[in-house]
């Protein structure tokens, strides 16, 4: 008979890992959100073009994406504890030196390379690997709770950063963020993951959540080579490229767009903080649904509400109807972060085994590819047209198009499963 005290300890440990993921994802996603505020400050301070300035965000997304496979491999080999501690150190250093920026190359190096590497090391790859190995039947729900931290991070860090910039200047704001990261990232790792009980080395779960199709192609361990030569992997990769491209156009340029049409900077930042709060409910809701319905159907709903929000942002052409910005924040916020959640859950279903961290790292390269294009493209199209209308329309098309690719990928997964079972 199982020891009740051991079962309670094990349950608390699993909950602690979700809490740790919540904190780290809050920091990482919140820092991503703050670039939109720093973006406006850099334009004012240095007079660089929007394409050049937004290029730092594009580089950050590329670097973060490039680091994902490295982070996944580190998680598989040295464990989540050491990987996350390294990430906290690198991120704090990157943010502190971002305060010294006075040229484009420094912006690109400290924000686009070092800080981005730190965000990758504490981001979705290690936490998805750690959490998925501890939850057999409620992976998406657990991930949804952890992903909800992204909403909290956006809600807190974006307006706080805007206030710090307004009162202290952008350089001091970066120092403040570096201190916050050192406090919020490193100590919780030491508390939640004991050195003598490394969670990231566990065996991947072979179970499936009830209420959705079993997407696994087989029950054995996948190798990285098998995953990278599988058509389902590349279809999911393509879907995430489209989703990331469409999303990054918006999140990089949303504050600049609101300021352009006449809203005060702090008001615009606070509206998008509201989006972060709404996204908390969205991530928990869609995570819960993804454990009870076909994942691709849940993904369709995620993109549908995101599309409504994008249309509201497109309709915001002056400051006469702030209700449109609120509508954008609510509807787009419901989908914010949930795209990655559902796509991650699908990938967990398929690419099981001890190499999942590395495979998931390669899969999330898609975020870097799509996001880098999106951040730069939004700035480039504005520089050419002096408007975000075309850029946001492209974003809308990408979000919708990704739904069709997800359906193609899940159909391919089920076809492969049926072929192996024949």
| C-beta separation of 313 from 393 below 8 A | no
Q: What is the mean pLDDT of the chain?
A: 85
CA distance 72 to 224: 11
Mean pLDDT of 120-130: 91
* Predicted pLDDT of residue 345: 86
Do 157 and 373 touch, CB atoms closer than 8 A?
A: no
- In the chain the first and final C-alpha atoms are separated, in Å, by 39
Residue 313 pLDDT level (bands cut at 50, 70, 90): very high
Is pLDDT larger for residue 212 or for residue 379?
379
Tens digit of pLDDT for each residue in 215-271? 444 455 788 888 899 888 999 999 999 999 999 899 888 888 888 989 887 787 777
Q: What is the DSSP string of 229-287?
A: T-HHHHHHHHHHHHHHHHHHHHHHHHHHHHHHTT--HHHHHHHHHHHHHHHHHHHHHHH
Hunting for tokens 């949930």 — which residue is that?
338
Contact call for residues 73 and 358 (beta carbons, < 8 A) = yes
The SS3 assignment for 1 reads coil
State how far the alpha carbon of 103 is from the alpha carbons of 46, 108, 333, in Å.
8, 9, 34
Indicate the burial class of 5 (C-beta count within 10 angstroms; 0-12, 13-18, 19 or more): exposed
pLDDT for 365 equals: 86
pTM of structure: 0.74
Say if residues 85 and 200 touch (Cβ distance below 8 Å).
no
Structure tokens at 303: 């993109």
Read off the pLDDT of each residue in 169-193 and give the average, rounded to a whole number.
93
**pLDDT per position as a tens digit, 126-171:** 998 888 877 767 778 888 888 888 878 877 898 899 899 999 999 9
CATH tag, 11-192+204-421: 1.20.1250.20
- pLDDT tens-digit profile of 66-115? 898 999 999 988 888 999 999 999 999 999 999 999 999 999 999 999 99
Query: What integer pLDDT is reported at residue 336 of this predicted model?
Result: 82
Q: Over 70: is that where the pLDDT of 328 sits?
A: yes
Question: Which carries the bigger pLDDT value, residue 119 or residue 279?
Answer: 119
Q: Name the pLDDT band for 202 (thresholds 50, 70, 90).
A: very low
């Amino acid at each position: 008979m199982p020891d009740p005290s051991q079962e309670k300890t094990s349950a608390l440990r699993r909950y602690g890992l979700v809490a740790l993921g919540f904190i780290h994802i809050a920091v990482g996603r919140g820092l991503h959100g703050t670039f939109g505020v720093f973006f406006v400050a850099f334009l004012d301070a240095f007079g660089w073009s929007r394409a050049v300035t937004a290029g730092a965000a594009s580089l950050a997304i590329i670097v973060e994406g490039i680091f994902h496979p490295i982070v996944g491999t580190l998680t598989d080999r040295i464990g989540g504890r050491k990987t996350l501690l390294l990430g906290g150190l690198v991120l704090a250093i990157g943010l502190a030196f971002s305060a010294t920026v006075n040229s484009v190359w420094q912006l690109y190096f400290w924000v686009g390379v070092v800080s981005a590497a730190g965000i990758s090391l504490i981001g979705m790859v290690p936490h998805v690997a750690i959490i998925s190995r501890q939850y057999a039947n409620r992976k998406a729900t657990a991930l949804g709770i952890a992903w909800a931290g992204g909403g909290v991070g956006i809600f807190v860090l974006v307006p706080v950063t805007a206030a710090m910039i307004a009162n202290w200047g952008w350089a001091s704001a970066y120092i403040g963020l570096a201190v916050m990261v050192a406090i919020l990232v490193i100590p919780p790792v030491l508390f939640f993951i004991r050195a003598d009980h490394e969670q990231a080395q566990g065996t991947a779960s072979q179970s499936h959540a009830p209420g959705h199709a079993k997407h696994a192609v087989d029950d054995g361990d996948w190798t990285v080579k098998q995953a990278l030569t599988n058509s389902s992997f590349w279809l999911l990769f393509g879907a995430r490229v489209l989703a990331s491209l469409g999303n990054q156009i918006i999140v990089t340029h949303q504050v600049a767009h609101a300021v352009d049409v006449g809203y005060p900077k702090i008001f615009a930042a606070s509206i998008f903080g509201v989006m972060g709060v709404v996204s908390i409910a969205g991530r928990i809701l869609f995570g819960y649904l993804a454990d009870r319905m076909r994942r691709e159907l849940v993904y369709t709903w995620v993109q549908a509400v995101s599309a409504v929000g994008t249309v509201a942002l497109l309709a915001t052409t002056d400051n006469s109807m702030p209700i449109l910005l609120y509508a954008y924040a609510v509807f787009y916020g419901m989908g914010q972060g949930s795209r990655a959640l559902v796509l991650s859950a699908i990938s967990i279903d398929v690419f099981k085994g001890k190499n999942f961290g590395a495979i998931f790292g390669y899969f999330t390269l898609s975020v870097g590819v799509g996001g880098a294009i999106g951040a730069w493209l939004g700035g480039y199209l504005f520089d050419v047209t002096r408007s975000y209308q075309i850029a946001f329309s492209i974003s809308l098309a990408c979000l919708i198009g990704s739904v069709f690719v997800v359906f193609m990928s899940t159909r391919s997964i089920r076809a492969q499963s049926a072929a192996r079972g024949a």
